[in-house]
Chain A
């Protein structure tokens, strides 16, 4: 009797925590919308609304890999790149076939998520046999490969369908009226600008539903058991590869969704070091670390604050990355140094012990 009461209480606690997370997002959305309607938001801030959604989704998605799965991925921007390019290609080539922007964007999101998930599986199957440091370096390598490959791909479309080349736009051999869609290092131009703040928030909510449900499900607990003790998990018959791959692929596809938002928010999309490179992956890692590894709500808040802060404090921009670096180091030493852990235990948790 008492046990079942306890179970019920536990369930309510996670439910309550999830509700707070959803509530925060919805409240933030309503407040921002009211401010926008009242004309209280500067055009600079309006321009940041969609990027905030993008980085929030990226932070949730990376937290699934780093916090819940316990593996460091340094190639998350690569999955974002995959989602961005595949969905842009779809949107542009379907401009005439699907005239309704809403339906087209809906499918674009699915396509982006699908291709990023595919990339996640392709990366995941071989890579998840590796562990720890090796996994980090290989995901980094994959991110760079995706970015490099995107820079040499040429895709064009004419009446016969899609043409593909890795040399240059001339090698596509298209008919007269053919149009180059992906132009090598020049990337994609002319993606319809479908991303809005409202769609971004809806996608954040969907992301949250997926991730929070996964964490509190049977699979989620299996994933966390693999994180906490791989050998113990294996010994009670948990299929490590399956659960790792599951978390990794879901995380990749969510990053792909962020990429779809990204590409449909810009008129020109290129794969550069700045947007899809290693640095971008690190920036998202900073969100996750600052918000709390494994804490979904925290990483969302960190993503929002750290996207807004440099814009609010323009003077800080030169020092932004320096500050990020110091945040990373100090947070890690503060959280993990045995001496500091002892110190905190002695002076701050007296009552709990």
Chain B
């Protein structure tokens, strides 16, 4: 029984990773850059929910809505101010800028909210599910996380397949120049991608802090890195890849915490990433990239 509960908790953690990884994968697919600051948008989202629910006394729904709105704006602003001027620059320059933005967000949060951990009250109000005479308990947070992950995945796939904006995203990710010639607003599409990714990060922030109820300015950085690992794992740029990568990573992390060593679980996760990249350098569902000379 304990194995199943570890596994389900792993799926729940993995769902959060998958939601975060979606943001990474979409941005990478379109702007061909690593948004290192994505993890810190999660943290900002968490702080907004915390402030709205605990300090202002509003309901969790209001908290999440406000967090989604603020993070969306934040994502678009970051893209416009820091990344857009560097659209044509070398990948190294963009990467270092993204690291700078990540540091900026962390330290702003540090100055505004202080370094003391804030205890986060869960935004989930669904009672826990008890199975097989109470031997197996699935918490409300777990249910909500897995369900919202599935809904987001389906919604996003529909959005990209069925809407004009989604098609534009696909076109831009395929070839920026050609898309522009076809009359697609490339800058607008990239901004939209950042907006969606950041909105998802806000949701992930609320879910993550519900499952692990402390909040510090560094809350987002580890899940951010791991979600990136998940995105690479599944094949960066691929939406189903992010789902598979996230779920696998969550399960591996939880099982290694339970059966090997809780201190080494991070090391194991990273080791798995390296092995995957060695065997299949573009990830599980990644496409092979042909280089043009």
Could you list which residues of chain A lie within 8 angstroms of chain B, going by C-beta atoms?
A: 66, 70, 72, 126-127, 129-130, 132-134, 136-138, 140-142, 144-145, 148-149, 151-152, 166, 185, 231, 278, 282, 285, 289, 293, 318-319, 321-322, 324-329, 332-333, 335-340
When the two chains form the complex, which single residue of B100, B103, B107 contacts A332, counting CB atoms closer than 8 Å?
B100
A2 to chain B, nearest CB (A): 35
In the bound complex, what is the Cα–Cα distance between A54 and B264 (angstroms)? 28
**Which residue numbers of B lie inside 8 Å of A, CB to CB?**
28, 33-34, 82, 85-86, 88-97, 99-104, 106-108, 110-111, 221, 225, 228-229, 232, 261, 263-264, 266-267, 270-271, 273-274, 277-278, 281, 291, 293
Cross-chain contact A141 with B274 (CB below 8 angstroms): yes
A321: chain B residues at CB < 8 Å are 103, 106-107, 110
- Indicate whether A145 sits within 8 Å of B270 (C-beta atoms), given known contacts A133-B34, A318-B111, A322-B107: yes
A328 to B264, CA, bound (A): 32
Residues of chain A lying within 8 A (CB to CB) of residue B291: 231
* Cross-chain contact of B108 among A132, A322, A332, A339 (Cβ < 8 A): A322
The CA of A185 and the CA of B88, in the complex, are separated in Å by 45
Chain A interface helix/strand/loop/mixed: helix
Taking a contact as CB atoms closer than 8 A, the residue among B92, B101, B228, B264 that contacts A72 in the complex is B92
A325-B107 in contact (CB<8A): yes
B85 touches A140 (CB 8 A): no
Say yes or no: A72 contacts B95, CB within 8 Å.
yes
Partner of B264, one of A136, A142, A152, A340: A152
User: Would you give 6 A-B contacts (Cβ < 8 Å), ordered by A?
Assistant: A66-B92, A133-B95, A136-B34, A282-B99, A333-B85, A338-B89
Interface pair B273/A141, CB less than 8 Å apart: yes
A285: chain B residues at CB < 8 Å are 96, 99
Let me know if B89 and A336 touch, CB within 8 A: yes
The answer to whether A339 and B270 touch across the interface, beta carbons within 8 angstroms, is no
Residue of B261, B270, B293 most packed against chain A (CB within 10 A): B270
Given contacts A138-B274, A148-B267, A322-B111, contact A338 B100 (CB under 8 A): no
A336 touches B103 (CB 8 A): no
State A322–B105 Cα separation when bound (angstroms).
9
B86 touches A336 (CB 8 A): yes
- Closest chain-A Cβ to B176's Cβ sits at a distance in Å of 15
| Residues of chain B with a CB closer than 8 A to A278's CB | 221, 225
Q: CA of A339 to CA of B274 in the docked complex: distance in angstroms?
A: 38
What distance in Å separates the Cβ of B287 from its nearest Cβ neighbour in chain A? 14
B102 / chain A contacts, CB cutoff of 8 Å: 325
Nearest B-chain residue to A326, judged by Cβ: B104
Contact partner of B277 (CB less than 8 A), chosen from A138, A140, A339, is A138
Chain B residues with CB under 8 A of A326: 100, 104
Contact of B104 among A140, A142, A329, A339 (CB under 8 A): A329
Give Cα A218 to B49, complex, Å.
58
Q: Chain B residues with Cβ under 8 A from A322's Cβ?
A: 103-104, 107-108, 111
6 A-B pairs with the lowest CB-CB distances in the bound complex, closest first:
A328-B100, A141-B270, A325-B103, A336-B89, A337-B85, A325-B104
Count of A-B residue pairs with CB < 8 Å:
130
- CA A74 to CA B108, docked complex, whole Å: 22
- Select from chain B the residue with minimum beta-carbon distance to A293: B92
| A333 and B86 in contact, given A145-B270, A285-B96, A289-B96 (Cβ under 8 angstroms) | yes
Given A72-B92, A322-B108, is A142 in contact with B274 using a C-beta cutoff of 8 Å?
Answer: yes
Contact between chains at B225 and A140 (CB < 8 Å): yes
CB-CB under 8 A for A137 and B93, given A126-B274, A325-B101, A336-B86: no
Q: Is the CB of A332 within 8 A of B96?
A: yes
**From residue A155, how far is it (CB to closest CB) to chain B in Å?**
16
| Contact A148–B263 (Cβ < 8 Å) | yes
Give, as a whole number of angstroms, the nearest-CB distance from A343 to chain B. Answer: 12
A136 to B94, CA, bound (A): 12
Q: For B92, give the chain A residue with the smallest CB separation.
A: A72
Q: Apart from A141-B270, A142-B270, A328-B96, list 18 A-B contacts with CB within 8 A.
A: A72-B92, A72-B96, A126-B274, A130-B277, A133-B95, A134-B277, A138-B277, A149-B267, A152-B263, A319-B107, A325-B100, A328-B97, A328-B99, A328-B103, A329-B97, A332-B96, A332-B97, A339-B85
CA distance A333 to B87 in the complex (A): 10
Closest residue of A by beta carbon distance from B96: A332
How close is A72's CB to chain B, nearest CB, in angstroms?
Answer: 6
Give the complex CA separation of A332 and B267 in angstroms: 32
* Given known contacts A137-B229, A231-B291, A337 and B99 CB-to-CB distance under 8 angstroms: no
Residues of the A chain whose Cβ atoms lie less than 8 Å from the Cβ of B225? 137, 140, 278
Most buried by A among B86, B100, B229, B267: B100
Question: Which residue of B has the minimal Cβ distance to A74?
Answer: B99
The answer for the CA separation of A321 and B40 in the assembled complex, in Å, is 15
- Closest CB in chain B relative to A197 CB, distance in Å: 30
**Cβ B281 vs Cβ A130 within 8 A:** yes
* Alpha-carbon distance A326/B100, docked complex (angstroms): 7
Smallest CB-CB separation from B289: which chain A residue?
A131
Per the bound structure, the CA–CA distance linking A318 and B229 in Å amounts to 31
Q: How many Å from the CB of A246 to the closest CB on chain B? A: 20
Which of A133, A137, A327 touches B91 (beta carbons < 8 Å)? A133
Q: How many angstroms from the CA of A340 to the CA of B84 in the assembled complex?
A: 13
Chain A residues positioned under 8 Å from B108 (CB to CB)? 322
Contact in complex: B270, A144 (CB < 8 Å): yes
Separation of A140 and B224 alpha carbons in the complex (Å): 13
Cα distance A70–B108 in the bound complex, in angstroms:
30
- Closest residue of A by beta carbon distance from B267: A148
A144 touches which one: B82, B85, B93, B267 (CB < 8 A)? Answer: B267
Note all chain B residues with C-beta closer than 8 A to A138.
273-274, 277
A337 near B96: Cβ-Cβ < 8 Å: no
Q: Which residues of A contact B91 (CB under 8 A)?
A: 132-133
Chain B's nearest CB lies how many Å from the CB of A315? 14
Shortest CB-to-CB span from A316 to chain B, Å, is 13
